[in-house]
Amino acid sequence: MLVIVNETYDTMSAEAARIVADRLRKKPDLVLGLATGSTPLGLYRELIRLHKEEGLDFSKVTTFNLDEYVGLPPEHDQSFHYFMRENLFKHINVDPRFIHIPQGMAKDLSAFCDWYEQRIVDCGGVDIQILGIGVNGHIAFNEPGSSLGSRTRIKTLTGTTRQDNARFFKNLDEVPKYALTMGVGTIMDAKELLLLATNASKAAAVRSAVEGPVTAMCPASIIQMHRNAFVLLDKESAAELTGTYNDTWEHKIFTSGNHPHG
C-alpha cells in the first residue's frame, strides 16, 4: 500500500488522473473500474481534459462500475448510470458497448450479480479500480460488517449511508434502501486499487483503513492486504494519520510493474 498526501483536492485529482492515464497509454484496452460520488469528480474532469486536449483515447477501454441503487431506472437523475453519463462518458470516446454498470432494475437481481461477476472475468479482470471511502469505512456499498470475501450482491444500506446520501434526494424517504454492489472480494481481484479521499469528514475512516486493523467493521481496511494499492489523499482527509508517507512514491507508481511494495 502506498499513501500519497497532496496539498489540495485538485492536486490529488490530477495525480489520480495521471496514474490512470499512464495505465491507459500502456494498455489501450484497459479494463477500468469506476466509482461514483463527489470524490472522483475531479479525477473525471481531468481525464476529460486529457482526452480533449491531449488525445487520451478511451475507444478500447472497458469499464465496470462498483454499484447502483436498486429500483432507480437509468434515466433517474440520482442513478449511477446518469451520474457516469453526465460526468464522464458523454465527454470521452468510450464505446457504449464496453460500459458496464449494475442494473438496479433487473428482474432477477441475484442472476444479474452472477452475470456481472462472470463478465468481469470474461473481460480479463479489472486492471485498475477507482475507489472512494465512506465516513463509516465502506467501499462501494460494502457496509461495516460485510464479508471481506464477498462478491457482487444485493446489500441493505445502513442508516448512516442513507443519511449521507439524502442530500442528493428530496428527503430521506426517497433514498433507496438497497443497492447492487461489487463485493470486497471482487474489488480485491483488481490488479491495482486507487482509493481517493477528501475533506476532514473522511479523516477517521482513512485512519482506520490505512493504519487500523484489517476488519470487516472497516471494509476499506482490506486495502492493506492488496499488493498494488494506492491511497491518494488531500491534507484534510490525511489529518489523523500518524505515519510518514510520500517517500519515493513517484518511482514506485510509474516504474514498470507499478508495485507499491509496502
Query: Catalytic site residues?
Result: 67, 136, 138, 143
Contact of 206 with 132, CB cutoff 8 Å: no
Q: What share of the chain is helix, strand, coil (3-state, %, to 5)?
A: 40, 20, 45
With residue 210 as reference, give the H or E element that holds it. helix 203-211
Q: Which amino acid is at 241?
A: L
Q: How far apart, in Å, are the Cα atoms of 81 and each of 42, 61, 231? A: 18, 17, 25
Between CA 15 and CA 130 the distance in angstroms is 13
**CA-to-CA distance for 224 and 243, rounded, in angstroms?**
14
